[in-house]
Amino acid sequence: MKKFIGDKKFYLMVLAVAVPIMVQNGITNFVAMLDNIMIGRVGTEEMSGVAVANQLFFVFNVTIFGLLSGAGIFGAQFFGSKNVEGLRDTFRFKVISGCVLMTAGILLLYFKGEQLISLYLHDVDGSSDVAATLSFGGQYLRIMLIGTVPYVFAQIYASTLRETGETVAPMRAGVAAVVTNTALNYVLIFGRFGAPCLGVSGAAIATVVSRFVECGIIILWTHRRADQFLFIRNVYRNFRVPGSLVIKIMQKGSPLMVNELLWSAGMAIMTQCYSTYGLVVIAGLNISSTISNVCNIVWLAMGNAIAIIIGQLLGAGKMEEARDTDRKLIFFSVSSCFLIGGILLALAPVFPQIYNTSDEVRALATRLIIVGACFMPVQAFLHGAYFTLRSGGQTVITFLFDSCFLWACSIPAAFCLSRYSGLPILMTYLFCQSLDIIKCVIGFILVKKGVWLRNIVG
């Protein structure tokens, strides 16, 4: 068991990196849950419209994450090898490419957003108001587009700081943002303290304001500590990035960005397949994913910890230490998720009762939460394997491992089962989740073979 369990010093090191990320993600997802509950108290159509709009923003956000992660592979290894100029150039690359991708996303969602939302709206039994759901989703989307600018820049700074091992500052900025978001949600959604009752528009305004707060805090904090974070000195004096580095980042990072784009788009298509069962399913999935996201913070944070810790070890050329550390990190993540999954199982019958919706939606949400809880350790292992492969620059393999599997297996299964099989939604959802077990086997083989043990900046 010593191969899988570290000593006290090991876990203190891991928790120092992972806990601030867990806290930030936990508070963010907890507040998102409160927002969701507040909107869910208004009505099912409002909740469903916001859920579909957020599905589109999910694709945008994950694509930004993929872009920054591709460059971040080099950022972590540059920091591990004490190459300040390399880290500075990586940051500049993030700014330039982030702005390009952000502009493309804003234009697409502004002109085609409502058409994309309508793809998810199906009234199979005549009991749902599709037009109202579309209207609420459109209102929310148009306001939320304003918040994409501070969101992108906050992610650029936060991701670079994490690559240097600084995870507390992004956490503090995130905490300030979610406190702002929660307070404004209460005031603007329900019209408290003399404010107008804005419903879904109020929720969007609150989120946009909170993103400006987060962005402002993290940018000011970083620039005021230029003596500590040397990469930020004169970073905006010019935007020249060495061509050799651009080529390397594009070679290693492009597959990662494309992977995240295809993966997030694939997950959106999976949801669209499930939505053919009716708006009841959209509402049920929204409720189940809201509570699951809060519980998923452990394996999500552990994935980030693997990327940071293993990336720095590889950059320093400590290959055997990286292998040993990675094994223990993945084991810790999976073990933790057996406990968290048990907690989620206990909450499954209770959480949907909070929402102002039908008994049918509540019953479906409960069953979906149970399925998600049972598969949480599986997701923890997949996430750990993915970030292990990524830390060594194996982005083509992660592309095949992640999004190619989704598009080749999961999406065809969801499409065929939802349209031609006659199976109920729960069986279709369970079958599609079970396919991830195949990915676990593939991921285990790749990690064990050590194909990721590479220094790409030496």
pLDDT at residue 95, as a whole number: 94
pLDDT at residue 38, as a whole number: 81
pLDDT at residue 260, as a whole number: 81
> Measuring CA to CA, how many Å separate 7 from each of 1, 65, 429?
12, 32, 40
Q: What is the mean pLDDT of residues 66-76?
A: 85
Residue 358 sits at φ, ψ, to 5 deg, of: -80, 160
Closest by Cα among 209, 243, 198, 257 to 71:
257
> Tokens 């191969």 belong to which residue?
3
What is the chain's mean pLDDT, rounded? 87
> Measuring CA to CA, how many Å separate 145 from each of 205, 216, 401?
10, 18, 32
pLDDT at residue 204, as a whole number: 92
pLDDT at residue 126, as a whole number: 56
Q: Is the per-residue pLDDT at 42 higher than 80?
A: no
Give the end-to-end CA distance of the chain in Å, rounded to a whole number.
33
Contact 455, 317 (CB under 8 A): yes
pLDDT at residue 151, as a whole number: 93
Least confident segment among 4-8, 237-241, 422-426: 4-8
> Measuring CA to CA, how many Å separate 264 from each of 16, 90, 221, 388, 442?
29, 24, 31, 20, 21
Confidence of residue 31 (pLDDT cuts 50, 70, 90): low
d(CA 215, CA 93): 19
**Better-scored residue on pLDDT, 397 or 365:** 365
pLDDT at residue 127, as a whole number: 53
| pLDDT per residue as tens digits for the range 436-445 | 999 999 989 9
| pLDDT per residue as tens digits for the range 316-366 | 888 888 899 999 999 999 999 999 999 999 989 998 888 877 888 899 999
- Helix (H) or strand (E) holding 217, with range, is helix 200-223
Q: What is the mean pLDDT of residues 45-68?
A: 86
| pLDDT per residue as tens digits for the range 123-151 | 665 555 788 888 999 999 999 999 999 99
pLDDT at residue 391, as a whole number: 83
Q: What is the mean pLDDT of residues 164-176?
A: 86
Q: Is the per-residue pLDDT at 423 higher than 60?
A: yes
Contact 74, 305 (CB under 8 A): no
Q: What is the mean pLDDT of residues 32-46?
A: 76
Closest by Cα among 268, 68, 240, 237 to 151:
68
pLDDT at residue 74, as a whole number: 86
